[in-house]
Homo-oligomer: A and B are copies of this chain.
Amino acid sequence: MNRGISGANLPALRHHNAALVLDLLRAATRHGTGGISRLELAERTGLTPQAVSKITARLRAEGLAEESGRQASTGGKPRTELRLVRRARYAAGVHLDRDELTVVLADLSGERMRARTSRLDFGRPAGEVLEAVAREVRALDAGPAILGVGVAAPGPLDHASGVLHRVTGFPDWDGFPLRDALERRLGLRVVVDKDTNAAALAVLGQDAGDGSFAYLHLGTGLGAGLVLDGAVFRGERTGAGEFGHQVVQLDGPVCGCGNRGCIEAMCLAAVDRGDSAGAAYLLGVGAANLVSLLDIDRVVLGGRTVLADETLFRQEVAAVLTERTARSAGRTVPVSVAPGGTRVVADGAALLVLASVFGGAALG
Q: Which residues of A contact B (CB under 8 A)?
A: 1-10, 13, 16-17, 20, 23-24, 27, 44-47, 51, 204-205, 208-212, 224, 228-231, 233-243, 245-252, 257-259, 261, 285, 288-290, 292-297, 324, 327-329, 355, 358-360, 363-364
Contact = CB atoms under 8 A, between A and B. Distances in A.
A343 to B, nearest CB: 20
Contacts of A211: 236
B285 A234 contact: no
A179 B51 CA distance: 35
B16 A363 contact: yes
A329 B156 CA distance: 9
B23 A2 contact: yes
Nearest to A201: B1
Instruction: Return the 9 tightest CB-CB contacts between A and B, nearest first.
Output: A235-B295, A239-B295, A7-B45, A7-B47, A5-B46, A7-B46, A240-B295, A2-B208, A242-B292
A221 to B, nearest CB: 13
A44 B231 CA distance: 24
Given A2-B20, A258-B327, 6 more contacts: A3-B210, A7-B51, A8-B17, A235-B294, A237-B329, A246-B293
Contacts of A328: 242, 245, 257-258
Nearest to A44: B5
Given A1-B359, A2-B208, A243 B23 contact: no
A230 B13 contact: no
How many copies are assembled? 2
A160 to B, nearest CB: 12
B250 A236 contact: no
A314 B47 CA distance: 49
Interface of A is mostly: loop
Most buried by B among A224, A246, A328: A328
A4 B27 CA distance: 13
Nearest to A355: B1
A102 B130 CA distance: 62
Given A250-B248, A292-B246, A293-B240, A45 B5 contact: yes
A242 B295 contact: yes
Contact of A293 (B17, B23, B243, B363): B243
Given A3-B230, A211-B236, A324 B259 contact: yes
Contacts of A7: 17, 20, 45-47, 51
A47 B252 CA distance: 53
A47 B259 CA distance: 47
Given A248-B248, A248-B250, A294-B240, A257 B327 contact: yes
A1 B20 CA distance: 9
Contacts of A247: 248, 285, 288-289
A78 to B, nearest CB: 24
A225 B17 CA distance: 32
